[in-house]
Chains A and B, each alone.
Chain A
Amino acid sequence: MARSTTASGPGRLLVVVYGVFAVSAGARAAVQIATEFGEAPLAYLLSALAAAVYVLATIGLARSGPGAWRLAVAACTVELLGVLTIGTISVVQPGDFPDETVWSGYGRGYGYVPLVLPVLGLLWLRHTARAREHR
């Protein structure tokens, strides 16, 4: 590999999946907030937060440099905490979530990809940091 950045090698695939989630979660949140915000404001604000996290993670992974790396780590960490917290709340108290968000039921509606993605992202970020140290 010529360069060892977060966007090369397996990182290519992570950026594809993160990009898809950034666009689809962002579009979905925008539609929800524009058309039916009053029905479930909390759920829709969480959708918007999740979308923002996916956008930041995509940017952090796709760009190179220590700033981008830290951005990606922060975004993936928030994402992991978010999916675990929202997932648990939505399972324990389903009534709090009148409408599904990306992170409801640990990302059940999206094939559990939202749960697996931050774990893969953080593992990959740790790997690229080590590769950089060993150069």
Chain B
Amino acid sequence: MRDGVAAAVIGVSVLVGLGCLALALADRRPVLWLLGGLAAVELAALVQVLVAVVLVIRGERPDEPAVFAGYAIASLLVPPLGALWALSERSRWGTAAAGLSALVLAVLTLRLRQVWF
């Protein structure tokens, strides 16, 4: 884990999350924006996991390896599952669910950082 990477992932997740919640408050459901936002969040999660894999190959070890691996896998699954769950709801609450999924990744990233050090 590198703080810069974690901060970037949290930044993207919070930005997309709050953006979606604002759209939900405005009673909007722009499907392409939701998909694009969650795709950006997924990309950030992917970069973060790849960085962690490279660090492990170079000899660094997370403090709690099993928990870290679990959270890492979960971090890759949250955006696509969140997108499916959000798009199957045809109301503002679908938009809000997409935003909440993005915010979940921010929390997962904080936990990933905690179990690495």
Contacts and interface: CB of A to CB of B under 8 A. Distances in A.
Interface in B45-72: 64, 66-67, 70-71
A8 B93 contact: yes
Interface of A is mostly: helix
Size class of the contact patch on chain A: 20 to 34
Nearest to A62: B85
Given A1-B91, A8-B93, A9-B91, A16 B67 contact: no
B9 interface: no
Contacts of A2: 90
Contact of B93 (A13, A27, A35): A13
A20 B70 CA distance: 12
B86 interface: yes
Nearest to B101: A16
B93 A31 contact: no
Contacts of B74: 23-24, 27
Given A8-B93, A24-B74, A15 B85 contact: yes
Interface in B68-108: 70-71, 74, 78, 81-82, 85-86, 89-91, 93-94, 96-97, 100-101, 104
For A12, A19, A20, A27, the residue with the greatest tally of chain B CB atoms inside 10 Å of its CB is A12
Given A15-B85, A16-B100, A20-B104, A9 B93 contact: yes
List of 8 A-B pairs having minimum Cβ-Cβ separation, nearest first = A12-B97, A27-B70, A12-B93, A16-B100, A12-B89, A9-B93, A31-B66, A20-B104
Interface of B: 64, 66-67, 70-71, 74, 78, 81-82, 85-86, 89-91, 93-94, 96-97, 100-101, 104, 111
Interface of A: 1-2, 8-13, 15-17, 19-20, 23-24, 27-28, 31, 34-35
